[in-house]
Amino acid sequence: MVNLAAIFFLLEDENPEFLEITGLGNVKSAEEAQGIKLVEKRRIERLELVWTRDDKRFMEDDEILKELLPPDTVKRFELRGYRSRNFPSWVMGIATYLPNLTTIRLWALPNCTNLPPLGQLPELEPLTIEKMDSMRKIGGDLYGGIRAFPRLQYLSLEYMECLEDWNMLYSSSEDSLNEHMLPSLLNLYIEQCPRLRLNPCLPGAGGN
């Protein structure tokens, strides 16, 4: 783990395969976030971006995340403690910017009401979404279009107290298309989502 206080010294010449940046809420300016030069670290395969409870939060979280575009070498990505409601453009275009992602974990994003189009990531296999307290519905925003999640095998939804509806079909009125979005899913794990209703129920999925 690399603490933010040391990040600017360590990353100027370092190019690690695994990088965890914590305390992002202590960043004071866009220039400070840009100084990490994350997109230039071409060996990174696993990346974790973390805001913590003790952060001072001088800037909005989305303003910081905007400046932290990762290199397209990243395969495993975790976003934790992010409090902005919306995501910057690189997250909303994640299939273009990070096409090699195989694993994603979104954890403790209390104010987000919509998800980025993770379904368009061609290599994504496990996906974990936890503690998104404002999320009430999952649908087309997550899929991003037809043929979503072509390789997703494991999906976990945990501690989503307000999540009520999950539309598991992609519908298009233009061509009368109704397509299940999880063709390769083997395991579905749902915990502490007391209001959730699947629409329709997922056929043939294992899970807990």
Question: Same domain, yes or no, for 33 and 107?
Answer: no
Under a CB-based contact definition with an 8 Å cutoff, are residues 109 and 132 in contact? yes
Q: Are residues 174 and 76 in the same domain?
A: no
What total of structural domains would you count in the chain? 2
Do 130 and 193 reside in the same domain of the chain? Answer: yes
Q: Are residues 87 and 121 in the same domain?
A: no
Same domain, 155 and 76: no
pTM of structure: 0.88
Residue-range definition of the domain harbouring residue 119: 102-208
Asked if 65 and 107 sit in the same domain, the reply is no
CA 30 to chain centre: 21
Both 77 and 120 in one domain: the answer is no
Residues 112 and 90 in one domain: no
Q: Which of 43-70 are b and which e, b meaning 16 or more Cβ less than 10 Å from the residue's Cβ?
A: ebbebbbbbeeebeeebebeebbbbbbb
Residues 112 and 59 in one domain: no
| Domain boundary pick from 94, 114, 144 | 94
| pLDDT tens, the chain, 208 aa long | 444 545 554 565 567 899 999 999 999 999 988 888 899 999 999 999 999 988 889 999 999 999 999 999 999 999 999 999 999 999 999 999 999 999 999 999 999 999 999 999 999 999 999 999 999 999 889 999 888 999 999 999 999 999 999 988 766 555 455 667 788 999 999 999 999 988 765 544 434 4
* CA 149 to mean position of chain CA atoms: 14
